[in-house]
Amino acid sequence: MTNIDTKQIMADVKANHAKLESCDRHDFSQPIDRRTKEPIPERVVFCDWRCVRCGGWVDCHAKHWFDIGVRHGGAK
């Protein structure tokens, strides 16, 4: 991995984090490809998930725990 690759990855991570932090109510309902981050027609094993409100994305594990937190919090 080159220094340029590392800088681009860090820029992408920071941009995604900023999107996630700016959202007041996530809706992780859009499955996306793990590598390309492009939408896919349906959920597959270990796909990532995009928030349809802010555009930020999380992996399947983060979505799982997010959904549990929403259920436990009684949010709808």
Q: Tell me the pLDDT band of 75, cut-offs 50, 70 and 90.
A: low
* pLDDT tops 70 at residue 39: yes
Half-sphere exposure of 2 (CA within 13 A, CB side): 3
pLDDT tens-digit map of 15-37 = 999 999 999 999 999 999 999 99
For the chain, the domains span 3-73
Side-by-side strand order, sheet with 48-51: 28-32, 48-51, 57-58
**E strand or H helix that includes residue 49:** strand 48-51
pTM, full prediction: 0.87
